[in-house]
Amino acid sequence: MKKRKELFSAEAVLDNLNTELIGRRVAFFPVVSSTMDAARDLVHEGVPEGTVVIAEEQTAGRGRLTRSWMTPRGNIALSVILFPHLSQLPEMIMLASLGVAQSIQKVTAIKPDIKWPNDILIGGKKVCGILLEADARFTQGTQVAYVIIGIGINVNLQPVDYADIASTATSLSVVAHKDLSRLSLVQALLQEMDKLFVELKSGRSLFTKWRARLITLGQPVTVTSVDSVFTGIAESVELDGSLFVRCPDGELKRVVAGDVTLTENSGKR
């Protein structure tokens, strides 16, 4: 029997989407260079907070630390535009990674882990990458932050088809052993992120929930930061999201931005 193709469009995403803010407006592109660029253009046009940009395919998708991100059709590539209070900027990473982890768990019943700061892994392999780009803009003379949260989820990708990521990445269809609805996943993701953003706006912190999902703590890690590479044991995380790593000579180093590889399983994408 021929498989019915799922309708994946702005209208379909908005249909029955029960959110307060995220998904107020959805812009859908069949092909775009990067949803990050499209989202930034929309910020400058003055779109409302909560606008979501979704692409079927990205031709120049980007990842953290100047890496590229491949988005063939059948996966999820989206960016969410938020205007948080400046003090909430560190929690945007927590909001994004928790939103992804919780929504995957809702739809598939599989519980993903978070690798510091915001990679989503299943069985030690990367299923989702998150990229945050923040800047300031002026509204009626006041400077406010805007954050673009870019999320790429491997849904129907077959990592074995791509040599670069074959051993380090996985996809939801691989772990669930079936095709999954991108529409259900995107709607669940927007719903979970919306709930978390409302929590944050009402003054509650996402830190405890985020830390509980981190697989990095207590593990031997290799840290690649802007200016150095070092190893140690990931000891703790701070309220602002930074990571403390105990080095072999006893020194405790604080990592604010960088890439962490779990030494026993160098899962990286």
Residues at the contact surface with ligand BTN, assessed by CB under 6 A:
34-36, 58, 61-64, 67, 69, 71, 77-79, 119, 129-131, 150-152
* HEC readout, 57-114: EECCCECHHHCECCECCCCEEEEEEECCCHHHCCHHHHHHHHHHHHHHHHHHCCCCEE
Q: Which is nearer to ligand BTN, 225 or 235 (CB)?
A: 225
Q: Which is nearer to ligand BTN, 64 or 106 (CB)?
A: 64
Q: Which is nearer to ligand BTN, 79 or 170 (CB)?
A: 79
Question: What's the token pair of residue 106?
Answer: 């809702």
Secondary structure tally for the chain: helices H, strands E? 6, 12
- The residue type found at 167 is S
Q: Which is nearer to ligand BTN, 151 or 193 (CB)?
A: 151
Min. distance of Cβ 89 from ligand BTN in angstroms? 18
Q: Which is nearer to ligand BTN, 34 or 187 (CB)?
A: 34
Min. distance of Cβ 6 from ligand BTN in angstroms? 19
Question: What's the token pair of residue 151?
Answer: 């999320």
Q: Which is nearer to ligand BTN, 134 or 198 (CB)?
A: 134
The contacts of residue 158 (CB under 8 Å, 6+ apart) are 171, 174
Q: Which is nearer to ligand BTN, 73 or 201 (CB)?
A: 73
Min. distance of Cβ 13 from ligand BTN in angstroms? 15
Min. distance of Cβ 77 from ligand BTN in angstroms? 4
Min. distance of Cβ 247 from ligand BTN in angstroms? 25
DSSP for 160-202?
GG-TTTTTTB--HHHHHTS---HHHHHHHHHHHHHHHHHHHHT
The contacts of residue 52 (CB under 8 Å, 6+ apart) are 13, 22, 23, 25, 26, 27, 78, 79, 80, 81, 190
Alpha-carbon distances of 73 from 28, 170, 179, rounded to whole Å: 14, 16, 13
Please tell me the distance from the alpha carbon of residue 188 to that of residue 86, in angstroms, as a whole number. 27
Measured from each CB, the residue nearest to ligand BTN is 129
Alpha-carbon distances of 237 from 155, 203, 204, 240, 246, rounded to whole Å: 30, 20, 18, 8, 12
What stretch of H or E contains 11?
helix 10-14
Min. distance of Cβ 151 from ligand BTN in angstroms? 6
Min. distance of Cβ 136 from ligand BTN in angstroms? 21
